[in-house]
Chains A and B, each alone.
Chain A
Amino acid sequence: MDQAETLDRAAVEALCEAMCGVVSGDLSVRLRTASADLTVQKLSLLANFMLETAQRAVERSRAYAGALDNVQRIARLSAWQLVLPDQEVVPVGTAAGLPDAAAAPLRGTAWFLDRVGPGCRAAMAALFQGDGGTLEWLAADGEAWFRTEVAALRDEGRLAGYLVITQDISERRRATERIRYLAEHDPLTGLANRRRLHEQLEGELEAGRRQGTKFAVHVIDVDRFKTVNDLFGHAAGDRLLVDLAACLRQEARESDMIARIGGDEFVVLQTGIGDARDAGALAGRLVGAVSARLAEPGARALAATVSIGIALAPDDGTTAEALLSHADMALYQVKSTGRNGFAFFNTEINEAQLARRRMEAELRGACERGEMAVHYQPLFEIASDRVVGFEALVRWRWNGEEISPAVFIPIAEESGSIIEIGRFVLREACREAAGWPVKLRVAVNISALQIQDGGLPDLVATVLEETGLEAGRLELEVTESLLLANAEAATKVLARIRALGVTISLDDFGTGYSSLATLRMFPFDKIKLDRSFVNDLGRLGEAEAIVMAVLGLGRALDVSVVAEGVETEEQAAMLRAAGCSLLQGYLIGRPAPIARFSAEVGRDVTSRMTKTPIPADSPG
């Protein structure tokens, strides 16, 4: 210290004596001295400093231990030590997970192994034989899952015991199982999804290779499901799918997997079949059960039927993809031949499908290659006794053969080529009509895809400008189903086109689902009565009544009505008598290149009048 003074030894001794009191473990004691000796004061100050530092360290340790207890509790951890060689069990922290205190000290691991499910018990016991390890195990009661880590404790190289840390992982396991379930199941129906189906298919194929077993893949599709959604909304569609799933569960065996692999596409994997008859029996049962159950008056959803395509393994395919693809082809076969039934895959189907796919590919670019042509069918006005316009109809000549529109138009619709074809027909028809000396009207059919594409109003405006055709001479024909698919969007698009001066007519009227509702959706300029009613005129009384009703409707709405499919003079006479103003059909003229109608369009000045097939003396 600062001054050289004699040390106050008595005071130092007093401090030393007080320091000995710490032996009791009480670190809160403080040393006091009255000595004026600065060295003694310093000694007292630093002794208290040490006591304070030690006390803080103890307090920190206690805080850490408390925090550790919380960590153990929150993480559902328990810890204990097995001390060798006495096998004494010593808790670590307050959450050691030991049995309630017993009279005798707890020893060994038997009490712990009793908690482990029988399937994991031997593996757990083995962890206490060597250097330890980790094990996830199911509790003996089968309710909870745990993860235990056993670590060997060594003292100078000698095994001194084990530190055993166990965590309750039940929630994690449940979450994992839930995630796996969601990854493998369809949330709407609870059935297996496509991924799970593929796994199962691979497994069955492998089993088949090893054991020679056979199985059937049934691809099931709801007939006209899109119509259900369009007419009744997606909620009704979902209810139908749920009901269908329940129906399939009821009919299939427990061992058969049922999966939903798409919107309305289901698969039943029928295992252990003897031959095709087993698959046919199930498919027949499924078709029957679905139509019976979903047609019940009390059924929550709509009456519905299904079509089923069946592929047999291994005969029809040795991969999951091939089997599903072939079952799909068989399904298509059912769909194209009436629905509400089932069919097996066969090579003929395969060839038909391949031909269809070739056609799909050929349709792309057919317009550019000059394979498409526009033919014109005349429209006859009774009052003026002359042709007043033409409907433009596309024709496809492929490989030197005329392909029926009934064949290629649906394929073009499905593949999207209809947009390119529609654009071609519109442009070609307008270009042609613009060149006619007689200003007749031209009608062009519009597909749903063209409406959905969104660019139709701009396309119409551009084509009219390019070709110079007056907008009032162009007429676009739309079907009811096109409007029903997306009524709001479709009517907006049509309104934009109508605003250009183009007229809009409703095609195939009477064949849809809610004709009167459709008429309210949009202010059509013309209604085209479907050919089926005209065809039945004179044969079925109801047909005449319907024709009369539609003509009356047209008059009431101040909308002209065109009768399509007029093929006989008798039909024409009846329509004229009924007050129909416009006729179209083979009687008036078949669709043909415009050159056939030179007179009608004013190019042949020697004959400006058309043939007039309507009997002048018809009743009425």
Chain B
Amino acid sequence: MLGIIPHTIDQYLKTRVPPEARAGILGRAGFPDGQTFRLDTEYDDESCCALVDAIAAEAGTTTEAVFDEISAFFLDWAERTFSGFFKVAPDTRGFLLLQPEIHSSLACGLRASGQRKVADKFRVEALPDGVRMHYRSSNRLGYFYCALARCLAARRGEVAEISFLDGDVGSAAAIIEVRLKPALAA
């Protein structure tokens, strides 16, 4: 998993919970005390998912609720840190069409040439009013993708209507359709 995900979650913890609570969550997720997350490093997928599970457990809520909360924080951070990615995409649909390429190039960019080939987690098809995403990952983070799409659309005055053509939010493989409408028309 790209370091920017656990890094952002950690930033979220730093701003929302006391240090001792953060340390407890990190420990619950299996990270040592004093753990930091680098932007230019990949982290173990399962450990990162454990971090979200730990936050949900500590807060007494669900992982979905945690993703909903984190997605807004993540987008705030991403739009500040990688503003260029968002500027080249005029709307939500445009960004969602670029997203698999960005994700893949960032991930592969971190790897040595011999390890560059990775199974694509995302494959996108353009729809007239949205995208059809083919998601495949054992991390089962389809829900996080949906949360980010909804949040991004809301920021651009749009509404994302999401449906699963195959699988569901917890599936390792799913086909997700995101159809976008102007907020006023929705």
Q: How many whole Å from B107's CB to the nearest CB in chain A?
A: 9
Judging by beta carbons under 8 Å apart, are A48 and B40 in contact?
yes
Q: Is B156 an interface residue (CB 8 A)?
A: no
Q: Is B139 an interface residue (CB 8 A)?
A: no
Judging by beta carbons under 8 Å apart, are A28 and B113 in contact?
yes
CA distance A348 to B29 in the complex (A): 116
Interface string of A35-63 (1 = CB under 8 A from B): 01010011011101111110110000000
Q: Is A30 an interface residue (CB 8 A)?
A: yes
Judging by beta carbons under 8 Å apart, are A45 and B110 in contact?
yes
Q: Is B81 an interface residue (CB 8 A)?
A: yes
Knowing A1-B81, A41-B39, the reply to whether A49 touches B111 (Cβ < 8 A) is no
Q: How many whole Å from B34's CB to the nearest CB in chain A?
A: 12
Residues of A within 8 A of B105 (CB): 49, 52-53, 56
Which residues of chain B in 116-133 are interfacial with respect to chain A, using CB atoms and an 8 Å cutoff?
Answer: 116
Judging by beta carbons under 8 Å apart, are B39 and A49 in contact?
no
Residues of A within 8 A of B111 (CB): 30
Residues of B within 8 A of A53 (CB): 105, 109
Knowing A33-B40, A41-B38, A41-B39, the reply to whether A48 touches B110 (Cβ < 8 A) is yes
- Residue of chain B at shortest CB distance from A53: B105
Q: Is A2 an interface residue (CB 8 A)?
A: yes
Judging by beta carbons under 8 Å apart, are A2 and B11 in contact?
yes
Judging by beta carbons under 8 Å apart, are A45 and B40 in contact?
yes
Judging by beta carbons under 8 Å apart, are A49 and B109 in contact?
yes
Judging by beta carbons under 8 Å apart, are A51 and B109 in contact?
yes
Residues of B within 8 A of A30 (CB): 109-113
Residues of B within 8 A of A51 (CB): 109
CA distance A53 to B106 in the complex (A): 9
Which residues of chain B in 37-94 are interfacial with respect to chain A, using CB atoms and an 8 Å cutoff?
Answer: 38-40, 77, 81-82
Q: How many whole Å from B11's CB to the nearest CB in chain A?
A: 7
Residues of B within 8 A of A49 (CB): 102, 105-106, 109
- Residue of chain B at shortest CB distance from A50: B109
Judging by beta carbons under 8 Å apart, are A38 and B109 in contact?
no
Judging by beta carbons under 8 Å apart, are B40 and A41 in contact?
yes
Judging by beta carbons under 8 Å apart, are A48 and B109 in contact?
yes
Residues of A within 8 A of B109 (CB): 30, 45, 48-53
Most chain B CB neighbours (cut-off 10 Å) among A1, A32, A42, A48 = A48
Q: How many whole Å from A37's CB to the nearest CB in chain B?
A: 10
Residues of B within 8 A of A33 (CB): 40
- Residue of chain B at shortest CB distance from A52: B109
Residues of A within 8 A of B39 (CB): 38, 41-42, 44-45
Which residues of chain B in 1-39 are interfacial with respect to chain A, using CB atoms and an 8 Å cutoff?
Answer: 3-4, 11, 36, 38-39
CA distance A45 to B7 in the complex (A): 13
- Residue of chain B at shortest CB distance from A48: B109
CA distance A32 to B112 in the complex (A): 10
Closest 9 CB pairs of A and B: A48-B109, A28-B113, A52-B109, A41-B39, A44-B40, A45-B40, A52-B105, A41-B40, A49-B109
B residues within 8 Å of A by Cβ? 3-4, 11, 36, 38-40, 77, 81-82, 102, 105-106, 108-113, 116
